[in-house]
Structure 1
Amino acid sequence: INDDDYLVIDKPCSMPVHPCGKYRFNTVLAILHYEYQLSNLRTVHRLDRMTSGILIMAKTAAKARAIDFNADR
């Protein structure tokens, strides 16, 4: 799902979301940036490197805060 506010993807196992340690280029955020010119994405929840599943990213800080606020209800 890709709309004006959010991007939702199915993250594969063994791929980190953020660059860290020895993982700099083969990360979800790096691939989305270089292959699809999507930058400044904000993850709204965690998925560990070895976990696969749905990953929700907001396209603005305001939308990330809005979804975080609604999750607390």
Structure 2
Amino acid sequence: MFEELRIPTLWITKVRGENTVEPTRLAPLMQYIVDKTDKDTAVIIEGIEYLILENGFETVFKFLTNLKDNLLAKMRC
């Protein structure tokens, strides 16, 4: 469905492949999201518990907070 609508997707997985990122690579994940967004974009992150399992709660909380801040800053420009 997402492909038919040309909605960018990125799979968070340890399996290497096209449009994938490892769950411990939060910086590239954030960069991907920020690069792909504009003012009309909704970001859906499914599987936050997987990120927490791989990185810890505090790290993922900081990631989400930084992601929010980056997206808000981008929308103000």
Q: Which structure's CA Rg is the greater one?
A: 2
Instruction: Indicate the structure whose relative CO is greater, using CA pairs within 8 Å and at least 6 residues apart.
Output: 1
If each structure's strand is expressed as a fraction of its own residues, which one has the higher value? Answer: 1
Regarding TM over 0.5, the answer is no
Give me the TM-score of the superposition, normalised by structure 2: 0.29
TM-score (norm: length of structure 1): 0.30
Specify which structure has the higher proportion of helix.
2
